[in-house]
Amino acid sequence: MRTFVFAYGSNLDPARMTRRVPSARYVGRAWLRGYSLRFHKRGWDDGTGKADAFRTGGEEVVHGVVYEVAELELAALDVHEIGYDRRLQEFLLASPHEAVAVEAWVYLALPEVIDDTLVPTRWYLDHVLAGARAHGLPRDLIGRLEALPTEG
């Protein structure tokens, strides 16, 4: 069986995602309303800031993409997503004429690993930027990402 995964951080980068989950196939751009993109999730390996779709309940939107993956490979992706809770969420998937609602898995940071003083490393942010550019995400998002301070 196959399932959907919403990517908004380093898994936006198609090369990174397919290395982690070889079955991953791009479905389309999507967004999640009421969440804000933050880099406050403490990385398990280096302690630097990783991406999080943080629930605000406001008007913010997290832009990303939906991949279709083999359900059996979700466990392989979970190995890379330490400190995140994987949950099924409804997303708006862009289609040529309208937005279509789909259910997809998303990784959201656990409260105990959030630290608002963190910043991402350059290499991590480069993965996010590569994916945002490859998938044609909004220019204002790319500009905000390019302006973020980084560590190292």
What tens digit of pLDDT does each residue of 11-69 get? 999 999 999 999 999 999 999 999 999 999 999 989 999 999 999 999 999 999 999 99
Q: Please tell me the total count of domains within the chain.
A: 1
Cα–Cα distance measured from residue 132 to residue 9, given in angstroms and rounded to the nearest whole number? 9
Is 23 inside a domain boundary? yes
Residue ranges making up the domain that contains 98: 2-142
Is the confidence at residue 95, as pLDDT, over 90?
Answer: no
Is 148 inside a domain boundary? no
Is 65 inside a domain boundary? yes
Domain containing residue 28: CATH number = 3.10.490.10
Is 14 inside a domain boundary? yes
Is 91 inside a domain boundary? yes
Q: Are 133 and 125 in contact (CB under 8 A)?
A: no
Q: What's the CA angle centered on 90, arms 94 and 80, to 5 degrees?
A: 95
pLDDT of 113 reads 98
Q: What's the CA angle centered on 149, arms 105 and 151, to 5 degrees?
A: 85
- Interhelix angle 122-134/139-147, rounded to 10 degrees, is 170
Nearest to 69 by CA among 1, 128, 134: 1
Is 132 inside a domain boundary? yes
